[in-house]
Structure 1
Amino acid sequence: MGDRVLGIAMNGVTGRMGYRQHLTRSVLAIRKDGGVELPDGSRIIPEPVLVGRSAQKLRAIAERHGIERWSTDLDTVLSDDSISVYFDAQITHAREAAVRSAINAGKHVYVEKPIADNFSAAIELAKLARDAGVKNGVVQDKLFLPGLLKLRRLIDSGFFGRILSIRGEFGYWVFEGDWQPAQRPSWNYRAEDGGGIVLDMFPHWHYILEQLFAPVRTVTTRIATHIPERWDENGQRYQATADDAAYAVFELEGGIVAQINSSWSVRVNRDELVEFQVDGTHGSAVAGLRHCKVQHRSVTPKAVWDPDAVDPGGYRDQWEVVPDNGDFPNGFRAQWELFLTHLYTDVPFPHDLLSGVRGLQLAEAGLQSAKTGRTVELEEVSLP
């Protein structure tokens, strides 16, 4: 079987994540390694076409990596019959219109999350893609991280028995931008530009909870803008109008309770920037980005609360490390390879736009809960 060259319009690769994770570590790495092999022995060779607003930045990236084509005119790129896929890693508020144009042009679409500014727009995109008959996907990279792959292995093996609860901690201190440059772009802290930690992280928590454990049925959230004043990329002071921390309780189908704290205003005192502790009747695990450790009920120490005695401590040392037992590729690349395979085969791809819709639904429900002070129930999502 011969190779299949696949033209991919990549919009947003001048940004940090679009460039590092999607272009260089995924698409270009796949191309360098000879493409993705299909069951019939043929190979998909991705051929990126860069799209964006800055000709200078696009030209520099293209020359650096030997990419032949780039353009600042999205409509012209989408009218090119040699391009079959549109990928979007732009700022959130620019995504909906571009994805809509790509679907109308008959392109398969693969997009970063959130897939739109709001739930209504997101479900319209999913409906448009369905009616156009184009294959579609949303980036859900954290499912492909080594720590969560090990956690999935434990779940599939029945290690936990009946799962009772999940406790997640995510975050780090993002510098305000005055005395040290911020690690995140300033638009993240402006609600009018689609910023906020709820919109950024709740879609992640949704697909992790849904695909590893069970569908989310309710959410109760408190949000905060702990740092109300920040400095942008040009050193200009601005008011932060978006939430930089969220404290949420999610009830999952079957009664599992998940508590997840998300914050860009917290200093890290844990082994990794995100960790999930899963407790079950037969065992517990703590999974991060790369590592996972467990404690089975057969070796669970007897803890005794006694405020009048010295606590011997050493609790972290009482857990066992889950071995890698294999190689873990870059998570973004792994999902790209699945999506490219999905384009040419019947291999299912559960990370579709409708999954992205449910993630955005959870984010909006979280914001509604924070506004009203009430628990919000999530209705089942289906396309009209």
Structure 2
Amino acid sequence: MHERVLGVAMNGVTGRMGYRQHLTRSVLAIREAGGVVMPDGTRVVPEPVLVGRSAGKVREIAERHGIERWSTDLDSVLSDDSIEVYFDAQITSAREDAVRSAIAAGKHIYTEKPAATSLGAALELAKLARDAGVKNGVVQDKLFLPGMLKLRRLVESGFFGRVLSIRGEFGYWVFEGDWQEAQRPSWNYRSEDGGGIVLDMFPHWHYLLEHIFGPVRAVTARAVTHIPERRDEQGEPYAATADDAAYAVIELDGGVVAQINSSWCVRVDRDELVEFQVDGTEGSAVAGLRECRIQHRALTPKAVWDPDTAVAGDYRSQWDRVPDNADFANGFRAQWELFLSHVHAGTPFPYDLLSGARGLQMAEAGLASSSSGRRVEIEEAELA
């Protein structure tokens, strides 16, 4: 079997997400498994080249994992012909310029979302990549989680009949950093650094809605900052200028209505940190990150509203669990494998920079709706 080593510049792997999910659980895991087998039989093995601002941090990670090449000079890495792919997991505000430079250097692009801090900039990156003829993709990991794969399977099988509505609940309590250390970085709560739950989570909700149910057509949202002051990594107080919760009604093609609450100021009373209930004419489902439960039309009990009578049964026990019926890989790794195949063999990869830009478009529409108090219609972004 022919083997092809694919140089991958990885920028931002000193951060939690870049290190845990993309470096160790995806690229290094793929390398250790001997690569990804392509349709033509070639085995593509990614070889990471680490890039970062802190020489000490990048060197330590490289030495820990036996990675030979690392650098603090992005330009020199991008000028290296042995590197074919550029991956970015930096802070959002630093990403756009780096991706632009990588496109100019002729590298294939794979990046965390959002690719830029504005829709206009994201569309410009997508156009630059198209005109340069480079393959490109945006991380849309939640599509590859077991619960979402099961939900997609139900949609494709026609289980729901006509989908009527989607209700999503996401969030958990992020500690303020005073009496207990915060579990998210402080920049997430500063709008000047690209923070905010709308910019962070609405792109996720968009790609789930777009790829499982259909295009988004309108948004009505309210974004708020419930906790105005937090403490940073050094324990110093700072003003939280970004939204930490958002409440949205999202309209899709075909009259489907999605209601999604997102909050870092909510305590969890769900089976998983995010759950989506989908109701259709023939059946309903509740899907989380891993599990998915269903209730078919023929098995739906007759609920009767009577506030003067105790509930006779346990509603949750009336649902059935969807079996796995497959071995599910890490969601980030699964998408990395698809992207590597896209780069080598040109296999379909719909999760491109344009799809990522449409996620940012929904986020901007949500913020515009929140500031104006109006419903904002969305004309699907396309490239000229």
1:70 aligns with 2:59: no
Could you tell me how far apart the structure 1 residues matched to 2:343 and 2:17 are?
A: 23
Could you tell me how far apart the structure 1 residues matched to 2:334 and 2:358 are?
A: 22
Q: Which amino acid in the other structure matches residue 29 of structure 1?
A: A
Q: CA RMSD in A?
A: 0.6
- What percent identity do the matched residue pairs reach? 78
What is the deviation of 1:16? Answer: 0.1
Aligned to 1:163: 163
**Deviation sequence 1:103-138 (CA, Å, 0-9, x none):** 000000000001101011101100000010000000
Q: So what's the TM-score if we normalise by structure 1?
A: 0.99
Aligned to 1:18: 18
Could you tell me how far apart the structure 2 residues matched to 1:337 and 1:130 are?
A: 21
1:145 aligns with 2:124: no
Could you tell me how far apart the structure 1 residues matched to 2:383 and 2:322 are?
A: 40
Could you tell me how far apart the structure 1 residues matched to 2:35 and 2:359 are?
A: 31
Aligned to 1:289: 289
For structure 1, the 5+ residue unaligned runs are: none
**Deviation sequence 1:210-259 (CA, Å, 0-9, x none):** 00001000000011100111000000000100000000000001000000
Aligned to 1:82: 82
1:121 aligns with 2:121: yes
Q: Secondary structure at the match of 1:48?
A: strand
Q: Which amino acid in the other structure matches residue 30 of structure 1?
A: I
Q: Which amino acid in the other structure matches residue 175 of structure 1?
A: F
Aligned to 2:249: 249
**Deviation sequence 1:335-380 (CA, Å, 0-9, x none):** 0000000011131100000000100000000000000000000012
Aligned to 2:6: 6
1:303-342 pair list within 5 angstroms = 303-342=303-342
Q: Secondary structure at the match of 1:29?
A: helix
Q: Secondary structure at the match of 2:53?
A: coil
Could you tell me how far apart the structure 2 residues matched to 1:167 and 1:230 are?
A: 30
Could you tell me how far apart the structure 2 residues matched to 1:43 and 1:346 are?
A: 15
Could you tell me how far apart the structure 2 residues matched to 1:221 and 1:159 are?
A: 30
Aligned to 2:188: 188
1:215-234 pair list within 5 angstroms = 215-234=215-234
1:298 aligns with 2:287: no
What is the deviation of 1:313? Answer: 3.9
Aligned to 1:109: 109
Q: Secondary structure at the match of 1:254?
A: helix
**Deviation sequence 1:148-184 (CA, Å, 0-9, x none):** 0000111111110100000000000000001110010
Could you tell me how far apart the structure 1 residues matched to 2:247 and 2:380 are?
A: 23
Q: Secondary structure at the match of 2:101?
A: helix
Q: Which amino acid in the other structure matches residue 74 of structure 1?
A: L
1:346 aligns with 2:346: yes
Could you tell me how far apart the structure 2 residues matched to 1:346 and 1:371 are?
A: 42
Could you tell me how far apart the structure 1 residues matched to 2:215 and 2:126 are?
A: 19
Could you tell me how far apart the structure 2 residues matched to 1:126 and 1:308 are?
A: 59
Q: Which amino acid in the other structure matches residue 109 of structure 1?
A: I
Could you tell me how far apart the structure 1 residues matched to 2:158 and 2:59 are?
A: 51
Could you tell me how far apart the structure 1 residues matched to 2:295 and 2:220 are?
A: 29
Aligned to 2:263: 263
Q: Secondary structure at the match of 2:254?
A: coil
Q: Which amino acid in the other structure matches residue 363 of structure 1?
A: A
Q: Which amino acid in the other structure matches residue 307 of structure 1?
A: P
Q: Secondary structure at the match of 1:217?
A: strand
Q: Secondary structure at the match of 2:61?
A: helix
Could you tell me how far apart the structure 2 residues matched to 1:155 and 1:346 are?
A: 27
Q: Which amino acid in the other structure matches residue 191 of structure 2?
A: A
Q: Secondary structure at the match of 1:180?
A: coil
Q: Secondary structure at the match of 1:103?
A: helix
Aligned to 1:133: 133
**Deviation sequence 1:41-100 (CA, Å, 0-9, x none):** 111010000000000000100010000000000000000000000000000000000000
Moved over 2 A (4+): none
Aligned to 2:370: 370
1:19-58 pair list within 5 angstroms = 19-58=19-58
Could you tell me how far apart the structure 1 residues matched to 2:178 and 2:57 are?
A: 26
1:175 aligns with 2:175: yes
Could you tell me how far apart the structure 2 residues matched to 1:380 and 1:113 are?
A: 18
Could you tell me how far apart the structure 1 residues matched to 2:23 and 2:185 are?
A: 19
Q: Secondary structure at the match of 1:57?
A: helix
Could you tell me how far apart the structure 2 residues matched to 1:360 and 1:313 are?
A: 43
Could you tell me how far apart the structure 2 residues matched to 1:159 and 1:43 are?
A: 37
What is the deviation of 1:309? Answer: 1.4
Could you tell me how far apart the structure 1 residues matched to 2:27 and 2:60 are?
A: 18
